[in-house]
Structure 1
Amino acid sequence: MSPERQPAAPPQDTVDLLSALIRNACVNDGRPDSGGEVRNAATLAEYLSGAAVEVASVEPLPGRVSTVFRVPGYDPRVPALTLLGHTDVVPADARNWSRDPFSGEVRDGVVWGRGAIDMLNLTAAMAVVTRAVARSPRRLAGDLVFAAVADEEAGSRFGAGWIAEHRPGLIPWDHALTESAGARVGPRAVTVTVGEKSSFPRRLRVRGSSGHGSMPWGARNAVLLAAEAALRVAAHRPAARTDERWHDYVSAAGLPPEVTAGLLDPATLDDHLHHLGDAARFAHALTHLTFAPTVITAGDKLNVIPGSAVVDIDIRGLPGQDEAEADAELRAALVDLAGSVEIEPLGRRTASQSPAGRLYGAIGDAIRRQVPGAQPLPTLTAGGTDARFVRDAGGVAYGFGLYGPDWDIGRTRKLFHGDDEHVDVESLRLTTLALEDTVRSFLAGPDGSDGSHGSHGSVEEGDDRR
């Protein structure tokens, strides 16, 4: 590693800061007055106090604080890099955990608590790297911006989405690193998220007929119709769709040839998913238009058969799949129930992807320096992230991270929003070192030098500036 990229960020700080962020319990349940991200904003501001950073905060609603920390570079011609981390977490049911989900306990090399995987681990590493860069005597050419944003877990209305709409100049949108990557696939591959699926949520308004609860025989009970509709939608199996990324994923998994062949054939893919173990659910999402009934609402009195009900469906599409295709599949799932159901759109988010470029190359180099022989594997993420705001603004964004050798894609994805969420100290160390390496490499001068050498060369043609 060149002198300009010698590590300065202490991984133990990432461990300690992650534990503190978990303890702040910034739980976002979707209500505007939840979240309380002001607590994590204060913790991060305290950690970065005394470092040479410019600080700006926004608070769209009381307690919903996003803070942007900027370390200025010396050459405005070099593109900035934004580290986009969110500070909120989803709720946790303590009854299903073996530990207090907000203890931030560190024991036997593991940090426990809600947000340890999604995504306070990476947010903590971003803060540690930002402070290290700000305190370094070797100034980087491009600006480093660490955006610690609120409300990602409920759609970003009061976080990155609010900033993109109301204060777009606060964050550089050209290049960004965010969550959902770094897991192992097979013996050598490490995931780098380059895109995410579309989202076409739908509400099914189910019509039945009211009646007295004491006479249920023959009634068109909307509860039962809604339950039947949900079961049919959940059981529906759209055809698998594969692309070059899926071929790379299966090839990297190192499976027997007959299993590999079965997974690469859309006609037999579903029959072979079980060979992927805990990663099967994620793999299914990478290759299918998916439907998940998540909310059923009906009835308001015990002795009244309800005449209407509502079923909310989470629908996620692959790149190239649109709302018309999703609605057609939904009607095909409902078959004869379609006449009793009105389909109502609840929103729309198109799929987004970023091409490979200079930032992607820097990520791959950093991964290989920490894990010799490793290869970056470009993948989609099934869920939504704040990367979409970067791509909507014309920039490139990648999911980042680097887990230890035992953290395959199935293990990591299972812990997202799951019980007993945790991460090991070794993964935090690898992520911190790889992130600092990526930052210093990407933000160095065009010839790899820094401000101490007085370099002011122009940016190479063909890099992924936007």
Structure 2
Amino acid sequence: MTTLLEDEAVRFVRELIRIDSVNTGDPETIGDGETRAARLVQEWLAEAGIAGEFIEPAPGRGSFVARIPGSDPAAGALLVHAHLDVVPAVADDWTHPPFGAEIHEGYLYGRGAVDMKDFAGTLVAVARHYAREWMVPRRDLVLAFLADEESGGLWGADWLVRHRPDLLAGVTEAVSEVGGFAVPLDAEPAAGSSSDADAATARRAYLVATTEKGAAGATLVARGRAGHGSRPTGDTAVVRLARAVAAIGAHRFPVVRTPALQGFLDAFGRARGLSFTDATLEDDLATLGFVSTLIGASTRNTVTPTVLRGGSKVNVIPAEASALLDIRLLPGQDAALRRELADLVGDDAEVVEGRWWSATEAPAAAPLLDVLQQAIGAEDPDGVVVPYLLPASTDNKHFARLGIAGYGFVPLRVEKDFDVFAQFHAADERVPVDALHFCARVTERILRTA
């Protein structure tokens, strides 16, 4: 028998999924989905007597922010945020309609099911639960439902930090994506062991992102003499660009053992009997199954060429060719990465920097992590909260400019073979319905006691 809190969480998530709030990154093709979603959140909270402020810095780019007063005015406020925009979805690639919010065999399908309308709907349900039960959280809670995260947050979190920091007054910490989902902590049982015993002793790790990689973009620009394709010079802009791109593609940046990475390695090393030494790191990570790709991407800086541009006619040698680079950097690595990238491309190309957000770090020993552990333990007594480094970035990078320590933790208890992280931006994005119920219960406890 589910509770009203759990039922409302699922209902709100489904209704938000049904709003097409796709963020293409192109103002010409973005509709009013974010505004409609923010207005719906505002309406749901108003029904519970919770007021807030609707913000629309550009047509259709709506956000909503509300504050719930806590019982301890001296405690720093806690920001809890979720973005309302989603990435595009090609319906033909999906088994079920991406904006249908249909439930099949215990899974809720839809764009935003984990990224991240699941948390947005859950936050609304928790806030209404507090109002219904006359419950007061310990800290002030600032609930932010934001536009534009999927394109950098210019019209959402970034705009809020630049123009309305008053709405974040007193906030010291933040909770949002990407973390909280369960992954297998213990090693696979030995062949021939009792499946009942295995099920009884298997433990889950609930990853909390205490650090996020920085996200940056740059353009490689190679130049040469233009000419006719029948008279090649041998060192054209395209050839020079190709050499630079190949050098970057073949390069492996060195492993950096950040505190977040080391915290993960320590916890999984104890549980699985792995050493994770410099010599065994790659092999040890490979034993973690789908978790290995997530953690492997957090061990080093990465630079990935993603878009190539050259000439426009087959018989014309262009004077210029370029490549776009996706850069993900670890804390404190900005200067080192810039030097290493310049050395890699040498004289073949110029590196022209674009948007550049440095990595963010939050304390892994903060009292908030004890709250997360207690809330998980109340629902999953053997569950262990483990820090990790998110190899992507979230809106926490913007709030960090105000000194707000950001954590990624949307609690989802899932089966051991269900890769939550793989659902982000994927076709058939889905989440187990019982995981949403779990999320509602655990989030309610976290926000009440943090």
Q: Is the 8 A contact 1:242 1:266 kept in 2?
A: no
Structure 1 residue 10 and structure 2 residue 5: aligned?
Answer: yes
Alignment-derived partner of residue 202 in structure 1: 218
- Give the Cα–Cα distance (whole angstroms) in 1 for the partners of residues 220 and 4 of structure 2: 50
- Give the Cα–Cα distance (whole angstroms) in 2 for the partners of residues 141 and 183 of structure 1: 25
Alignment-derived partner of residue 338 in structure 2: 327
- Give the Cα–Cα distance (whole angstroms) in 2 for the partners of residues 103 and 332 of structure 1: 50
Alignment-derived partner of residue 372 in structure 1: 381
Structure 1 residue 391 and structure 2 residue 407: aligned?
Answer: no
Q: Residues 187-243 of structure 1: CA distance to partner in whole angstroms, max 9, x if unpaired?
A: 332111112112342210022333334x27555454454344333312211121224
Q: Is the 8 A contact 1:291 1:314 kept in 2?
A: yes
Q: Residues 15-42 of structure 1: CA distance to partner in whole angstroms, max 9, x if unpaired?
A: 2222221221211121235263112112
Distance of aligned partners of 1:105 and 1:14 in 2 relative to their CA distance in 1, 3 Å threshold: same
Q: Which amino acid aligns with 2:305?
A: P
Q: Residues 427-466 of structure 1: CA distance to partner in whole angstroms, max 9, x if unpaired?
A: 1111111000011112xxxxxxxxxxxxxxxxxxxxxxxx
Distance of aligned partners of 1:201 and 1:29 in 2 relative to their CA distance in 1, 3 Å threshold: same
- Give the Cα–Cα distance (whole angstroms) in 1 for the partners of residues 283 and 248 of structure 2: 20
- Long gaps (5+) in structure 2: 186-202
Q: Is the 8 A contact 2:136 2:448 kept in 1?
A: no
- Give the Cα–Cα distance (whole angstroms) in 2 for the partners of residues 312 and 191 of structure 1: 32
Shift in Å at residue 55 of structure 1?
A: 1.7
Q: Is the 8 A contact 1:112 1:421 kept in 2?
A: yes
Pairing partner for 1:184 from 166, 182, 185: 182
| TM-score normalized with structure 1 length | 0.84
Alignment-derived partner of residue 456 in structure 1: none
Alignment-derived partner of residue 20 in structure 1: 15
The alignment partner of 1:348 has SS state of: strand
The alignment partner of 2:406 has SS state of: strand
Pairing partner for 1:118 from 111, 115, 118: 115
Alignment-derived partner of residue 29 in structure 1: 24
Alignment-derived partner of residue 148 in structure 1: 145
- Long gaps (5+) in structure 1: 1-6, 443-466
- Give the Cα–Cα distance (whole angstroms) in 2 for the partners of residues 256 and 270 of structure 1: 15
Matches within 5 A, 1:43-442: 43-73=40-70, 75-172=72-169, 173-185=171-183, 186=185, 187-213=203-229, 215=230, 219-253=234-268, 257=273, 260-261=274-275, 264-322=276-334, 324-334=335-345, 338-355=346-363, 356-406=365-415, 411-442=419-450
- Count of matched residue positions in the alignment of Structure 1 and Structure 2: 426
Q: Is the 8 A contact 1:9 1:432 kept in 2?
A: no
- Give the Cα–Cα distance (whole angstroms) in 1 for the partners of residues 433 and 449 of structure 2: 24
Q: Residues 406-436 of structure 1: CA distance to partner in whole angstroms, max 9, x if unpaired?
A: 256x812222222221111121111111000
Identity over aligned residues, as a percent? 35
Q: Is the 8 A contact 1:194 1:353 kept in 2?
A: yes
- Give the Cα–Cα distance (whole angstroms) in 2 for the partners of residues 367 and 136 of structure 1: 22
- Give the Cα–Cα distance (whole angstroms) in 1 for the partners of residues 175 and 216 of structure 2: 25
Q: Which amino acid aligns with 1:380?
A: L
Q: Is the 8 A contact 1:26 1:89 kept in 2?
A: yes
Q: Which amino acid aligns with 1:375?
A: V
- Give the Cα–Cα distance (whole angstroms) in 2 for the partners of residues 256 and 147 of structure 1: 39
Q: Is the 8 A contact 2:214 2:330 kept in 1?
A: yes
Deviates more, 1:264-273 or 1:422-431: 264-273
Q: Which amino acid aligns with 2:206?
A: V
Shift in Å at residue 50 of structure 1?
A: 1.6
Deviates more, 1:346-355 or 1:137-146: 137-146
Alignment-derived partner of residue 455 in structure 1: none
Matches within 5 A, 1:438-449: 438-442=446-450
Q: Is the 8 A contact 1:192 1:400 kept in 2?
A: yes
- Give the Cα–Cα distance (whole angstroms) in 2 for the partners of residues 205 and 179 of structure 1: 35
Distance of aligned partners of 1:72 and 1:236 in 2 relative to their CA distance in 1, 3 Å threshold: same
Q: Is the 8 A contact 2:138 2:448 kept in 1?
A: no
- Give the Cα–Cα distance (whole angstroms) in 1 for the partners of residues 396 and 404 of structure 2: 9
Q: Residues 317-353 of structure 1: CA distance to partner in whole angstroms, max 9, x if unpaired?
A: 222312x31123223433xxx2120111113222211
- Give the Cα–Cα distance (whole angstroms) in 2 for the partners of residues 216 and 128 of structure 1: 69
- Give the Cα–Cα distance (whole angstroms) in 2 for the partners of residues 216 and 19 of structure 1: 61
Q: Which amino acid aligns with 1:184?
A: A
The alignment partner of 1:49 has SS state of: helix
Distance of aligned partners of 1:396 and 1:230 in 2 relative to their CA distance in 1, 3 Å threshold: same
